[in-house]
Structure 1
Amino acid sequence: MPIPAPNLYPAFNIVRLSHVELVVSDLAKSRAFYVDTLGLQVTDEDRETIYLRAMEERGHHCLVLRRGDTPCARDLGFKVYDEDHLEKAAQFFTEKSLPVEWVDRPFQSRTFRTRDPHGIPLEFYARMDRLAPIHQQYALYKGVKPLRIDHFNVFSPNVDESVAFYNDLGFRVTEYTEDEASGRLWAAWTHRKGGVHDIAFTNGTGPRLHHTAFWVPTPLNIIDLLDLMSTTGWVDNIERGPGRHGISNAFFLYIRDPDGHRIEIYCSDYQTVDPDLEPIKWDLKDPQRQTLWGAPAPRSWFEEGSLFEGQAPVPAQLDAQPIIAP
């Protein structure tokens, strides 16, 4: 199926991705991972919840950790331009016969929850509490020195349908993988903020959250994190990398938190601001698609992901697979 023409004038204006909420089984272990090891900053916490932000962010949080018996992913959060666009967003989802539930969210203005056609839980708001800047408080920089949340990647049972729906929301495709035998999309990277992606879709049993990515200053920060994790009891949580993606050109590392939620540490992709930028096509069997240096990803990277709360995944409709490491 062809990539849809970009919708440059959507019904409402999404600024960027904002935050994700993860349910975790042990807040203390998760705090040790995300705060003491990765270096995210605590902005509020109690016995049930921890709110975190990265060093360049002025919004109150980019990651919410909530204690629960069954680890899973909850809402993927997006910021819209203003309250008027929030109302337009709610109207859009209502007209698509998708649920709209207005909810109270600490540290956020009016917020509604919904789901996309495949059941991915989404959250939209216009304003979040602003905090004082800390990007020049270098004494606070620890771990991998995370600067900001960068993107989500989700397993989709039908990537063509996901791309078509998010195109209606104004997300533009930057790169994509096509299965030559069927002509269907196997994966696609789509953005709002002018990077390679705010949300990407990977063919697989879904919907499930594949990973959440954080942007760091340089590849050397990733090397520092690997040294830290390998000597502080986290070596088994290193899943894939370091390496450089063919798609996005970014330097990457994939790690798993104590509950198995996948986190990507990410830097060095490219700018995609121009509205007429043509998407880059990749063949599914190209070994440099996954890693520019040719190393294939492990099987876990294609098969494992975090369930979304209250949503049963279904098998992928496209039966195609890239090269997998033995």
Structure 2
Amino acid sequence: MGVMRLGYVHTRVTDLEEARAHYADTLGMRLVTENDGRLYFKAWDEYDHHSVVLEEGGVGLVKLGYKVERPEDIEVFEKRIQSFGCLTERMSKGENFAVGDGIRVVLPSDHVMELYADMEFVGTDTGSLNPDVFPRHLIGVGVPRLDHALITVEDPDTLERFFAECLDFRAAERAVTTLGDDSELIGSWMFCTNTPHDIAFIKGPNGKLHHFAYYLNGWSEVLRAGQIFAMDDVSVDVGPTQHGITRGETIYFFDPAGNRNEVFSGGYQTYPDFPTITWTADQLGKAIFYVSRELNDRFTSVLT
């Protein structure tokens, strides 16, 4: 039993056609379906129907979808979540395009999360029989898959307890104000797979999105992504650089609506017995941007 991965991110954008160009031509995602005013995209190495949903009407996060291992897991998680005190509702197959039965949860951070076990299978662009290592005609960055999301929350301790107690996530890294009994949690990077984070959250207003990220296969691909962003006049926030937290190599950038995206590579592997790494507030610059060891105001204040 378990949560397997971040399955989809559903966001709002201000202009659907501008967003279409960004996610298709710059990031290289494939538009699988356009339905009821929404665009459904998948990356080339993803086999489910979609991983990004865009709808017009402002900016910010509509919901996150996490895929669980088996249909019967949903009832187990539902009972845990209700015991924790969070609101849940059942969702039926087809209520979300191409997604099966599941539950919808309002997190302690006021974000909406959906848990589901089935999504329509589309297959990767290289197939599963004698596949090539990547598609011959990649467009733009050619992102292979969605990786993680970072959200903000007024009470990080409660959200960390929720993911641990209800969904069996573990904290790979934590940022705290100081060491000792009076310490307060600033942020947590939690995993359900073997990556440094499948969800992360930092202290801030409830209901806000900081970014969602795509995984790339190495530093050279991160650098090439930066070159593509320059060609396409994409607004870059920070990078290319490296994190102290997760050790990942990164570029943060904005879609045309102002939602922050990230391309991410590297990092380390996690396991059920992985010991949590702790960072203190006086080292946050180094923790977030290891090379420059400085945080800019925009990175911590621009949310959608």
Whether TM exceeds 0.5 here: the answer is yes
SS of 2:240's partner is strand
Aligned partner of 2:108 in structure 1 is 117
Aligned partner of 1:108 in structure 2 is 99
Work out the CA distance in 2 between the residues paired with 1:207 and 1:47.
25
* Cα distance per residue 1:169-224 (max 9 Å; x no partner): 21101111111174111111100011000001111222311110100122222222
* Cα distance per residue 1:152-176 (max 9 Å; x no partner): 1111112122111111121101111
Letter in 1 for 2:224: D
Q: Is the 8 A contact 1:174 1:279 kept in 2?
A: yes
Aligned partner of 2:21 in structure 1 is 32
Work out the CA distance in 2 between the residues paired with 1:244 and 1:155.
21
Aligned partner of 2:82 in structure 1 is 94
Q: Identity over the aligned pairs, expressed in percent?
A: 26
Q: Is 1:276 equivalent to 2:273 in the alignment? A: yes
Aligned partner of 1:139 in structure 2 is 136
SS of 1:45's partner is strand
Aligned partner of 1:74 in structure 2 is 62
Work out the CA distance in 1 between the residues paired with 2:101 and 2:47.
18
Aligned partner of 1:129 in structure 2 is 120
Work out the CA distance in 2 between the residues paired with 1:281 and 1:87.
34
Aligned partner of 1:252 in structure 2 is 250
SS of 1:44's partner is strand
Shift of 1:301: 1.0
How many residues align structurally?
Answer: 291
Single out whichever of 189-198 and 284-293 deviates more from structure 2.
284-293
Single out whichever of 107-116 and 135-144 deviates more from structure 2.
135-144
Aligned partner of 2:288 in structure 1 is 290
Q: Is the 8 A contact 1:246 1:292 kept in 2?
A: yes
Query: What TM-score do you get using the length of structure 2 for normalisation?
Result: 0.91
TM-aligned CA distance change 1:164 to 1:96, over 3 Å:
closer
CA-atom RMSD in angstroms: 1.6
Shift of 1:47: 6.3
Letter in 2 for 1:199: I
Extract unaligned runs of 5+ from structure 2. 127-131
Shift of 1:112: 2.1
Q: Is the 8 A contact 1:145 1:221 kept in 2?
A: no
Equivalence map 1:151-170=2 (5 Å):
151-168=148-165, 169-170=167-168
Deviating beyond 6 angstroms after TM superposition, the runs of 4 or more aligned structure 1 residues are none
Query: What TM-score do you get using the length of structure 1 for normalisation?
Result: 0.85
Aligned partner of 2:129 in structure 1 is none
